[in-house]
Amino acid sequence: MDFVCEVLADGHDTSAFASTQQELDDWLRKSARDSDGRNLTRTYVWHRGDGAVVAYFTLMPYFIERQTLHKKQARGLPERIPCYLIARLALDHHLHGQGLGSQLFASALTRAAIGARDLGGRYVIVDAIDEGAASFYRHHGFEPIAGRADRLVLPTKALDPYLPRSP
Ligand SMILES: CC(C)(COP(=O)(O)OP(=O)(O)OC[C@H]1O[C@@H](n2cnc3c(N)ncnc32)[C@H](O)[C@@H]1OP(=O)(O)O)[C@@H](O)C(=O)NCCC(=O)NCCS
């Protein structure tokens, strides 16, 4: 199935979006536009051409403290390490279990890969909302940091396969 992927805008309808995580659904409906408008985050949505949102992810620049990382993750790095945070990611529950979550995640990683290629940034960070989400991220190669099992990272040098063929 093909979806249109766009930056969240006023014409998108988020009213029917339901991912199974109320907190993520509420944030999309109530806070995402304001956060984007203030350039704190950037939210991308999927729809079928009709504007009705069926998936979204939110990215933002971020710093992580070296002391929160495992030794091998922190080696040679400064106190505050520039990164990208995938702050939120969710797919409507009607679409779960068909490989679309992986496609959505790949789309978020492509944005982070472009950012890292053009601006630098050492890691992509994800914060898992529960153990199921942590397991999904581990399945995609992410590893927990030392301080928190729900925060996982992947070096941006691993993102080359996600870069688009042409800029
Ligand atoms: C997390 C989410 C995006 C995954 O989407 P999905 O459609 O259910 O997952 P997919 O069908 O795309 O699964 C793709 C791959 O991930 C694996 N996977 C899916 N959920 C997994 C889990 N909980 N643990 C481990 N692997 C998982 C699948 O086995 C599949 O592996 P494969 O490609 O090797 O066969 C979706 O369940 C969701 O939106 N959940 C609610 C919001 C949420 O938890 N967001 C996480 C951010 S905090």
Cα of first residue to Cα of last residue in the chain, in angstroms, is: 24
CA distances from 96 to 5, 18, 28, 102, 141 (A): 18, 11, 18, 10, 20
Domain of 93, CATH number, reads: 3.40.630.30
Question: Which range marks the domain in which residue 64 is found?
Answer: 4-162
Q: Does any domain span residue 167? A: no
Percent of the chain with pLDDT over 70: 98
Q: Does any domain span residue 82? A: yes
Segment among 1-5, 27-31, 96-100, 149-153 with least mean pLDDT: 1-5
Compute the distance between CA of residue 101 and CA of residue 63 in angstroms, rounded to an integer: 26
Compute the distance between CA of residue 165 and CA of residue 161 in angstroms, rounded to an integer: 9
Ligand 1 centroid from CA 88, angstroms: 14
Q: What is the mean predicted confidence (pLDDT) over 66-91? A: 97
- Ligand 1, atom nearest to 20 Cα: 41
Strands (E), the chain: 4-7, 42-47, 53-65, 80-91, 123-127, 143-144, 151-155
Q: Map residue 45 onto helix, strand or coil.
A: strand
Ligand 1 centroid from CA 164, angstroms: 23
Ligand 1 centroid from CA 20, angstroms: 12
Residues 8-45 have pLDDT tens digits of 999 999 999 999 999 999 999 999 999 999 999 999 99
Reply yes or no on whether the pLDDT at 112 is more than 60. yes
Ligand 1 centroid from CA 80, angstroms: 31
Q: What is the mean predicted confidence (pLDDT) over 126-151? A: 95
Task: Write down the pLDDT at residue 165.
Answer: 83
Q: Does any domain span residue 26? A: yes
pTM: 0.95
Q: Does any domain span residue 143? A: yes
**Ligand 1 in contact with 132 (CB < 6 A)?**
yes
